[in-house]
Structure 1
């Protein structure tokens, strides 16, 4: 019986000797790479905008988005175990949804990662501006971009080790902040008028001051906070034991989301009134300052700088692997499919660096609006990628049901029920983007980009078919 791992939907440029990616990542590496991408700017800075829209009910939005991304990750995991040599989403997307959609998916994910990466660089500028407001932000951005490129140009095992320790540091800081916050809640310590209290969750306008609409509208911002967690799928081809590492990494997501997202934001909202969050800096730093802990605020500001850097580091990795996959499928310039003898796709990494430099220039030209614009555009690309993953997984499961494929070793539980609920939630995000005047332009731009990519993909696929005929 045929299997998806042996079937290919297109002729590809098979890597020659010395052109393979290095399998230098362990279970702890791939788990922390995914966390490193997701626990970054969206949580530490973007959550401010979501809180301003939904109030304390933003916790509901994070829980709903967390459920959806867990289902998406389980679906992706089931497919990736059939494609253990996959270098990008292009591999399984083309197998189940066709060549054109593989093209669109690959470039949309690359666009998502590039936008989130520039947002992370922008966040570093904002965070460092908290300490040195007189230093031009582009200097910090240039230093960060250069450092990230160096880390991504060395052997992947060194990249994985660096990302592990960076992510471990920010995870430890989040846990410490939660413990500190609980201690403040128990002691009631704080400045007059800002005493920590669980009652902050329902005072100041109620738990959901803007009602259901506030929760729905905040979903598009929350999606940005989770954007990039799917980079776990980029690590399979460089993991030494994917059959064991991938299920373990995916199955730990629910409690990680509960602690790192719901736990940290929930405690933060109890420490001070949510109405005082302005979005000019990290809301976590603002809240610690508000309750009379400026020293802790400075420490956390250092942590959020590391968090943004770590996320950018992992995003550069994921985007480069996506470009590599596109090139090897004939969907990008052939040079991007080259791998250095060290096992690193050097040309693809350099292209990502060039995109980050473009983001640096955009920050100089539009310093006041660039972050929100990037976040909303990245939200569209993120949700699009998640929906395509669910669609590809549905086709795979239908083929299993028809007997064309063997049942998978890591099936999504309660399929298709959970997948349908997750897809419905993701479609609600698109609806929310169209509902709000602030995010509607991003939805329009995203839809236009999808149409353009589809057209380019169709032309590219037809040209490749003619060349292969």
Structure 2
């Protein structure tokens, strides 16, 4: 099989995208990182998840409107290039790829930690190397294999969380397995220092951790290039975001903090250990480990997929090496999978050198990349809406709600989160690293892309391999996307 430049195959069905949408909201940030968010904000973290979730929903609706209108490979990286300029597209695409690499490093680190539960004498880096090669090999088969993996991974996670919620509510209502009267209940949310035990400052500080937990949910937009019917599937997936946030974050963590006082969650282990133990299940630790390992594998799988498809779209534009456009016979961009695998092996090195600090260091840097990508999505969407109004183009089939007030309010909130990263000392490093990264990209664009003349003036032309018109995009919209500023 000789890999040649080709096209992506539209092999993701409704079932795959629906469960990818579910799974994108359940990852390492929830199972492993939520303890830090609870420590920082106390029960008020529930309010932070609701506020952050509302902002994420608006980001996803903005991305959804663009993805339904232009279902192309590269998604929001290409939208930024089209509506904000080539430099913005270059920065957005590479920052998202950077985000996926950093998040994947956090996920493989978490995987190594989880495997240590059963095999404490095995070095963590050994597990990381093994999972990188296994997931990488599976991603090389076909996009349907990726979709099937996500379906089953998500099924395990969702089943476990629903079971925890139902069991936890039963304990709160009926008092099963409690050692004393009123040991569990909603009163725990207000009885240990109040709902805002660490004050307003603690509430604000927890946003940096909360937003990291939502990172990766934008992968729904990336699927547009390989969805069988993006016009129908993407809106359905995105519209479930609020319900998923309320169920998987607010309700789940609310039940946990009702069962176990928030100040007893020391962050040494996942807060989900507490609820399993309270349910009185003898095999609770082992069950939990299966669930969190599944979550980590799902996240690693999605990280490789997302970064690979973004690099594919950027390479088509001349913003990344041309070799990234090469695909296998089954339509998988093989070189991007190889590069992601190589990058993830860095995680093995980090865990061998600084095992105790690897996760915190990686996760804090990923937060900046995540919110920056969201900001570019919102800016691109605003420019698209203005162009539609200015040139009297056909209206979008999946418009954002409450335009333009909600969109501008979300932009303000994302900027606020970036400010939070710089305000607190323990997250300031993430902002510094992020700003240095952006500066490096500006220099790279000026020296490697702009001066070589490799950048294509239009994102999509009449000979582009990614089909657009037959996926429900109006002819006038396609012409608008083909045009240059």
Q: Could you state the TM-score of these two structures normalised by the residue count of structure 2? A: 0.90
1:371 corresponds to: 359
Distance (Å, rounded) in 2 between the aligned partners of 1:133 and 1:293: 23
Matching residue of 1:12: none
* 1:250-279 deviation per Cα after TM superposition (whole angstroms, max 9, x unaligned): 111111111111111111111111111122
Once the two structures are TM-superposed, the CA of residue 405 in structure 1 deviates from its matched residue by: 3.1
Q: Measure the CA separation in 2 of the matches of 1:357 and 1:410.
A: 40
* Correspondence for 1:445 among 413, 422, 433: 433
Give the distance between the partners of 1:466 and 1:253, measured in 2 at CA.
Answer: 38
Q: Distance in 1 between matches of 2:177 and 2:191?
A: 17
- Give the Cα–Cα distance (whole angstroms) in 1 for the partners of residues 286 and 454 of structure 2: 60
Report the Cα offset of residue 461 of structure 1: 3.6
Q: How does 1:2-401 map to 2 (within 5 A)?
A: 19-190=6-177, 192=179, 195-289=183-277, 292-401=280-389
Kept after mapping to 2: 8 A contact 1:88/1:106: no
Secondary structure of the 1:81 match is helix
Larger mean CA deviation between 242-251 and 326-335 belongs to 326-335
8 Å CA contact 2:35–2:267 kept in 1: the answer is yes
The 8 Å contact of residues 378 and 407 in structure 2, kept in 1 or not, is answered as yes
Q: Which moved more, 1:326-335 or 1:220-229?
A: 326-335
Q: Is the 8 A contact 1:22 1:238 kept in 2?
A: yes
What RMSD, in angstroms, separates the aligned Cα atoms of the two structures?
A: 1.9
1:90 Cα shift?
2.0
* Contact in 1 for aligned 2:164/2:275 (Cα 8 Å): no
Unmatched runs of 5 consecutive residues or more in structure 2? 458-485
* Distance change >3 Å, CA 466–CA 412, structure 1 → 2: closer
CA distance in 2, matches of 1:355, 1:468: 28
User: Counterparts of 2:404 and 2:153 in 1: how far apart (Å)?
Assistant: 37
How far does residue 454 in structure 1 lie from its aligned partner after superposition? 1.9
Cα drift, residue 292 of structure 1: 4.7
CA 17–128 in structure 1, closer or farther in 2 if over 3 Å, else same: closer
**Pairwise CA distance, 1:450:** 1.1
The answer to whether the 8 A contact 2:30-2:213 is kept is yes
- TM-score computed with the length of structure 1 as normaliser: 0.93
SS in structure 1 of the partner of residue 73 of structure 2: coil
| Equivalent position SS for 2:343 | helix
User: Residue 316 and residue 467 in structure 1: after superposition, are their counterparts in 2 closer, same or farther (change >3 A)?
Assistant: closer
Which moves more between the two structures, 431-440 or 377-386?
Answer: 431-440
Q: 1:221-258 CA deviation, whole Å, 9 max, x = no partner?
A: 11110000001111111111111001111111111111
- In the comparison of the two structures, how many residue pairs are matched? 454
Structure-2 separation of matches of 1:290 and 1:119: 28
Change in CA separation of 1:341 and 1:53 when aligned onto 2, cut-off 3 Å: same
